[in-house]
Structure 1
Amino acid sequence: MRVLVVDDDDIHLLILKRIFEKSNHLVVTANNGLEALKVLETDKGFSIILTDIMMPIMDGIEFLVHLKKNVVSSGIPVIGFTSGDVEYYRKMSPIAFDSLVSKPLDFFDLYNLAKLKVDTRMN
């Protein structure tokens, strides 16, 4: 599985990267939505994207909108996570996340959710 993790929190990036890499998955990280879009311009082989919602420069909702407009990246499942009100962000987002979960989160639960989304998409 190839994973793009987008978060402005370096600790979250490190933890998620280690959890996925422990299971031999390739992880690429970005610190905001704009940086993630730049990654996707050159690297199109991601199985799933995990993104924080509240980030500087480009937040997770704006990132999702740009991502889903692009034919190449529109089919990649996206899991959003936030320390804010999940229901508020569900209503605010013009495009639905494949899953939207709240922080603090169990990183292993997030790993299992990502694996489930990818496995479901492949079958």
Structure 2
Amino acid sequence: MTEGEGEGAPNSGDAPPVKPKRPQLVFTLAVEVGRKAGDGLPDKATGAGLLIYATGVDEAEAVRETVALLKAADLSPLDVTGYGTLEERLAAGDEIDAEERGLMERALAENSVVVAQMTPFYD
């Protein structure tokens, strides 16, 4: 074998097989948050509901990333409900307008969590 031949060829089973990279998807999540000091919610609010578009290779990853981000932002996530990807929501009969699609595209492009709406709760 001459110099350079075989470079990049798989070795004799020493390296683990390379898993194909799974694509990022955007999931629609509804998150209920409670009160926590410094959370930025209105004074008399008892919590809030957030509509979020979050990326992940699956819904579980999107939820984990969202909860971690909300905790880092001094919010107190109590409950997360997943509504699926754009395709799953369309298949379920949801109507999704251009603004909502734009926010989903932004989440995907930025590989991020986008809070689309926050509704404070009051007793």
User: Is the shorter-chain TM-score for this pair beyond 0.5, marking a shared fold?
Assistant: no
Select the structure with the greater relative contact order (CA < 8 A; seq sep ≥ 6).
2
Structure (1/2) with the larger strand percentage: 2
Band of TM-score, shorter chain: 0.3 to 0.5
TM-score where L is the length of structure 2: 0.32
- The structure whose Rg is larger is 2
